[in-house]
Amino acid sequence: MINAKRRKFFKYALLVTIDLLIVAVAMLSALLLTDGSIKFDVDLLIWFILNAVALVGSFWALGVYRMYMSEVSVIDALRLVFGVGITLILNVIYSLAFGKVGLGAAIVFSLITLSLVGAERFLFRIISAFSYALHIRLRSGAKVLIVGAGKAGSALLREIQSSDKITYRPVCFVDDDETKIGSSIGEVPVKGAVKDVPYLCERYSIEQIFIAIPSATREQVKAVLDVCKTTRCKIKTLPGIYQLANGEVSVKALRDVDIQDLLGREQVKVNLDDIMGYIENQVVLVTGGGGSIGSELCRQIATHNPKQLIILDIYENNAYDIEQELKRSLPTLNLLTLIASVRDKGKIEDVFNKYRPNIVFNAAAHKHVPLMETSPNEAVKNNVFGTLNVARCADKYKVKTFVQISTDKAVNPTNVMGATKRICEMIIQAIGKKSSDTKFVAVRFGNVLGSNGSVIPLFKKQIKEGGPVTVTHKDIIRYFMTIPEAVSLVLQAGAYAKEGQIFVLDMGEPVRIYDLAYNLIKLSGLEPNVDIELKCTGLRPGEKLYEERLMAEEGLQKTPNGLINIANPIEFDEQNLWTMLDKLYAAAYAETSDMKRLIAQLVPTYKIDQKD
């Protein structure tokens, strides 16, 4: 600390000394230029003291001495102008009032002073720019093309040019603003528009593309990426406009282009502050709270002042991770983490009896389709009877709202996982109709980018390992959402909850998985089926080419949020549901091998593979 203070003192002392020397030089030069001679007397000493106090005082007040020499900006230049301007005004007053110094000498002095202090402050930047211009061709590192010649692109370039540790070599900009084409930014030319990227990359042997247009919409970014991915360059982008607002535009802020950038739609935005009143001052239980959806639910719930947040999960590592994250970010949060299985009826009963949750989000489930095909009994134990345990306790202990996380795989299911989720929807509908105190709702949505079991992390891992990247079928399509999108809509659906409803989230247009894999390889700067093999392996057990959001009998009702719809309920024999559930329970724990056929008796739309 002492050394830091001492260094700061010497820095200020050096800068003040240099400015005093500048005052002396400027005074003598001004006298020589205007009067042709210099008279060393008391008047000259008084004039020097006046200028020294005025310049140093104004610079100190304006914060000139606190500026970083390597980061001098336009604002800093204005500070210098104002400081010298104050000195000029005092010189004019002194000249007119006392006549000791000519008005011309006072003005020339101020101009010389401004030139010298400006040169002093900008010297480092001038030397850096000159050095960059001389040695840019000698730099090692990847040749870079920057998309976007605006504020973000300029800030990115300045950091690259001013740092010896960053070895990228910016070669050119592109920008669709025609007025910028042909100009230069920091000696780097704006060579063309976005459409010219493939030509420029080939002509200048570009290795990486930096996309610096944080204010662009998803559609605009996708259009840029569609052009850039025709090259063999690795692509990086700035995350969003908030980076620019926070002054965080830097090489460190650049990230690899993610596949969600190619979905071509805006991030779904929900104003949770308007609808999250039902969370505030409530005890909220999230089962499966350590999973992809469960942990994001915990994050968003935690920021809306629950009375207590209870994370319940059987997997201790995930539960511990989200617990520690929330403790760090929200140290005052009343947080409780419990390790328990939703299968354990006694334990779940104890949790409800002891902590009396007001709101329950049931995200605990087995979700991996192929694994559940080979272990259908486990899917039934966990998904069906875990949900039944939690739902019955919610009804018994008068929970206000119960939200079941469902899936589009529950519609006309071809796999055990989807069929068990359809049974869960039926349970919610049946209990919800009868419950007088609890609003039950199920929320149905498709694949979530980045979630556990999502194809995207698998594709990235396969690319990193050199391939092949495997897709089950060239024509398979899926609906996609980001985790925060899905969770924010789940939370809003909870605000709309009534008796036994099924909410269906609008996930936009479906995406072909083969195209996702292909584009991810391209965005990594590699060529599909040249550098990385893209291989179709055939549909897995229980997998279908496309997912549906609705069954034939269902229609949709609108909610105030156009992205959340209500599926018209399908009537079913509730007595048969409870009878079949008893049979399923006995068969699941007896490890009966005929589990899939029993499931089919309860879910008529479930189609069993003939090989089973």
Burial class (CB in 10 A: 0-12, 13-18, 19+), 512: middle
- The 10s digit of each residue's pLDDT in 223-235 is 888 898 888 888 8
Tens digits of residue pLDDT in 287-317? 999 998 899 999 989 988 999 999 999 999 9
Q: What is the CATH number of domain 272-447+479-508+548-602?
A: 3.40.50.720
| pLDDT value for 344 | 96
* Cα-to-chain-centroid distance, residue 375: 36
Segment (H or E) for 5: helix 2-34
Q: Which residue has the higher pLDDT, 74 or 177?
A: 177
pLDDT in tens, 361-414: 999 999 888 899 999 999 999 999 999 999 999 999 999 999 999 988 888 888
Q: Do domains 139-257 and 272-447+479-508+548-602 have the same CATH topology?
A: yes
The mean-pLDDT minimum among 268-272, 494-498, 525-529 falls in 268-272
Q: What is the mean pLDDT of residues 140-162?
A: 82
| 321 pLDDT above the threshold of 80 | yes
Cα pseudo-dihedral 123, 125, 127, 133, rounded to 10: -150
Which amino acid, one-letter code, is at 307? Answer: K
Average pLDDT over residues 151-166: 76
Looking at residue 531, its pLDDT comes to 82
CA distance 116 to 118: 5
pLDDT of residue 524: 73
Interstrand relation of 447-449 and 255-256 (parallel, antiparallel or unpaired): unpaired
Asked if residue 216 lies in contact with residue 202, where contact means CB atoms within 8 angstroms, the answer is no
Of 216-225, 249-258, 516-525, the poorest mean pLDDT is in 249-258
Q: Which residue is it, tokens 């891992």?
A: 461
Q: Which of the two residues, 134 and 331, has the higher pLDDT score?
A: 331
Which amino acid makes up residue 500? G
CA 429 to each of CA 332, 356, 358, 478, 600: distance values in angstroms, whole numbers, following the listed order? 37, 23, 19, 26, 19
Using DSSP, state whether 256 is helix, strand or coil: strand
Tokens linked to 318: 């995930």
pLDDT at 551: 47
Q: What's residue 543's pLDDT?
A: 66
Where are the domains positioned within the chain? 2-134, 139-257, 272-447+479-508+548-602
The answer to whether the CB of 486 falls within 8 A of the CB of 445 is yes
Report the greatest alpha carbon distance in the chain.
Answer: 114
Range with the poorest average pLDDT among 71-75, 207-211, 323-327, 330-334? 71-75
The whole-number pLDDT of residue 266 equals 57
Please compute the mean of the pLDDT values over residues 479-502 and round it to a whole number: 76
User: Per-residue pLDDT for 75 more than 90?
Assistant: no
CATH number of 139-257: 3.40.50.720
Distance of alpha carbon 413 from alpha carbon 605, whole angstroms: 7
For residues 22 and 485, what is the distance between their CA atoms, to the nearest angstrom?
60
Q: What is the mean pLDDT of the chain?
A: 81
Pseudo-torsion of CA 255, 258, 264, 268, nearest 10°?
A: -80
Judge whether 388 and 403 are in contact, CB under 8 Å. Answer: no
Residues 6 or more apart in contact with residue 294 via CB below 8 angstroms: 286, 287, 288, 311, 313, 322, 361, 363, 364
- At 359 the pLDDT is 95
pLDDT of residue 159: 76
| 3-state secondary structure at position 148 | coil
Q: What percentage of the chain exceeds 90 in pLDDT?
A: 27
Residues 478 and 547 sit within 8 Å (Cβ to Cβ): yes
- In sequence order, what are the residues at sequence separation of 6 or more whose Cβ sits closer than 8 angstroms to the Cβ of residue 211? 147, 148, 221, 224, 225, 228, 235, 236, 237, 238, 257
Q: What is the pLDDT of residues 591-608, one digit of tens each?
A: 878 888 889 999 988 877
Q: How far apart are the first and last CA of the chain?
A: 74
Check whether 251 has a pLDDT greater than 60: no
Rounded Cα–Cα distance for residues 126 and 548 (Å):
62
Distances (CA, A) of 317 to 246, 323, 348, 590: 34, 10, 20, 30
pLDDT tens figures, 21-30:
988 888 888 8
